Chains A and B, each alone.
Chain A
Amino acid sequence: MKVAIVGATRGMGRALARRLAERGDALFLLGRDEAELARSARDLEARGAPLPVGQARLDLGEPAGFAAALDAADRSLSRTDALVVTGGLFARQDELAADPGRLSALLQANFTGTVLLCQQAAERLAARGGGLICAFGSVAGDRARRGNYLYGASKAGLAVFLDGLDLAYRDRGVRTLCVKPGFVRTAMTAGLPVPPFAGEPDAVARRVLAAMDAGRHDVYAPGVWRFVMLLIRALPRAVLRRVQF
């Protein structure tokens, strides 16, 4: 595969890019911090990605730059066949509730920016016969929680979009995979209380890779979250209220 990836410098994206590199997939890195992109590009080259691993600046908050970034990936990879978006923003509910600017930036990156980027990429891929779009939602988007619904809403919206993208484009050869991680121990979640079933980035990466190869349209990681969320979605609202969910 020839993969353009947003978010490969950190956390789950870093782990996933490494797994792709180790099996020899060609990579192109997109992100905000060029020095960090370069560091990760060298890391991925040393781990087996075909040389060179290119990079270009992309900010999910600046859709005007998307076309140029996708062009750069296409040039470097001589036609990309997959776009992976692991990047996104996160903040605690109280921080988001208190700061509309911050909330707006999060919604912009996690929802608006990611939707615009994936839609554009899907169209490009469809025009040349197909490919793969993979983006990271969250179990937080499966059902609202009082303590996390602002972040959750950005991921819920994204999940609906990705679901639709898969329905609309699969006939044209473009598969879409929506990854729904539960709590994963990364720098993003540092300092938060660690709930049960917490996952590790590399285990998530391996699961995502298997789901990509199998052509799935969604994957929970760790896998137990599919059943946990099935249960939580089925709980009556009255129960959620009572348990202060």
Chain B
Amino acid sequence: MTRRLRPWRKAALLTGCCVAFAATLILLVRHYARFSLPFHDSFASHSAKEWQPYGGTWKLTDGTVFNRSDERGAKLITGSPDWADYTMQADLEMIGHEGDVGIIVRVGKEERGIDSYNGYYIGLRSLESALIIGRADYGWMEAQPVAMPGGVRPSTWYRLKVVAVGCQIGATATNLQTGQEAWAAFEETPCVLKGKVGLRSMATGGAWRNISVRRATLSEWEAIRAHAATVGHPVFPDREADYNHMRESDFGQTYVPARNNSDYLLSGDTPGPLPPLVSIESLRNTNLPAQPLRIRGVVTLTHPIYVQDSSAGVAVNVDKPVSLNLGDEVEIVGSLANSGYVSRVKASSIRLLWDRTLAVPLSISSTQAASGAFNSALVEIRGYLRSKHMERDGTIVLNMDDESQSFTTVLRNTLSPETYADWQPGSWLRVHGICVLGESAVANGAAFTLLTRSPADIEVLAGPPWWSGPRILRIIIPLVLLLLLGLFLYLRIERWKMRAILSERERLAHEMHDTLAQSFAGIGFHLQGMRNMVRSGTANGNLTEKLDLACDIVAQTHREASAGIAALHPEADEGRDLLVALEHYAVRMLNADTLPLVLERAGTPHELSFPVRDTLFQVGREAISNVIRHGSANTIVLRLRYESKHVVFEVCDDGIGFVQEESSGFGIETMHRRCDAVSADMKITSVPGEGTVISVRSPYGRRVTVADWAKYIWKRQRARYHDAAERDAARVDG
């Protein structure tokens, strides 16, 4: 039965190992393929799962990633921290008026914050219309900016290329409409030599596409250096005066804010006489579609556009797309276009007043939201996630409840559908979004809909309760697996224990057969002979001779029985000196000091590990036992010699010796096996009539490791397997 299962076990083990190896290989290949060079974004397939946002409001639309927030230092990072010399290229556009957009290279230690990363930033800044380049390390050091021909303008696409080779960083910027170019290059020593890549915007929104990273060559750097006006160590001015001088020399008056209304007209024509300014709240109480009106408000959502002032919020319809950022404060001229529950303004012109205005969501209850009082306003609502689904276009819909209302939360154009997995049904969520009452929400049985701007608007306050089905499964499955593993190990250990007991019993049976049983048989034979002699009346001097012989056999048997019993005593564990322990054993075995025992030591004593000491004791014991029983020796010498890396133990006697044969006895085999277990070499030298020397050379030993244990088990199993095979073969032959 055992032999039939063994191939199956082997196959199962092999298959398991192969599967584990293949899985590891696939994971490694996938990981390195994801972050190996060359790298190209997968925005076109609507995926940005390998990108990690730090601040900002990032969305993915039509192969372009947008940050519609004017948060300073918003970052989106990807790549491997081990990327070293590479060229990064990206097309980018500024959404907004004052600020800069760019890319970061060799990024490390990134977290949310303005300059909260270690690496280099290369960007286009509108204030100076320049290509800027500098170093961040939770602080900012800027090198000499380079004027961008034609300026840096919103809604214009530029191509930025950065080459990083060693401590040399070079950059080119190209206006994709006009072809105008700017070059910048600098060296920093010491420098950041490797790191990830990322997109970054400062105080304005931006759009990026066609992002690629590939290995860089020195010739690429040299090509940029040939065009760059100044090359060398960057001037990171320490003094404000120097910094001011650096900019003034090249950019003069561009630093002074200049507000020209036409620059800030985002949509439509410059309106003539302006209609009266009204509050957004007042739009609800009027129904005069033709009446021109003017409102001011902060942009709270860009697609579709929602704005709000201190009184209320409103949806804004536009004919053409408008580049707006969240937080832009705008003036809208248009007319009312109310539809159903929703107030709408049809905009004829939109003018940016200023940006970076904080719109704080109002924390309200779901019933207040359902009442319509906060329609089109930015609100904060908490609720439980009942269910979720993703629509074909990637829109995520969360169906939520609280004590009194059911409502939906909608997230469009998120960076990666993987964020969907973060929100588990049963979780307690806090959602920031535009509260909208409308037919679509009502059709779903929900009181209202919250339109969110990015995944950051949805915060998990508490995960689903631990007793939910999937969680219980997640706890139970590992527990069951652990239990099964424990049970398996327990059974294996019990089996090994039982085998060890049986093996020892087998050894004892052999020894008893060889000694006691044969001795008793001999005694019985002698007694039987004596009885026959007494019956036949032939008992004379022979009887006394036979009685003497029987007494000798009884004495011999007694000695052997004593030796056997002594051998079972665990004297090796008693912590005594090895030679003293063996001497004590020999004395007990002989029951008298009849055999001279010589103990010899040489070299500097060295501590022996327990397995080595035990092995030497057991070998010595077996050898002494053999000498006493069969050797007829006059003297036994026990010798222990400490060498630099090994200990040599010898048992020498001057007995009758024996002829060494290929197949040795049970006792010698046991000695060999014990020596193998501690990597010791054992040699037996015996010449008939001249005595025997048993020599064991063993390393001092080290702590037994799992590997040793496994090796020992493996050897043992292999030996057993071979034994079984040999026995089976012998049985077949027989």
Q: Is B truly associated with A?
A: no
Interface residues of B (CB under 8 A from A): none
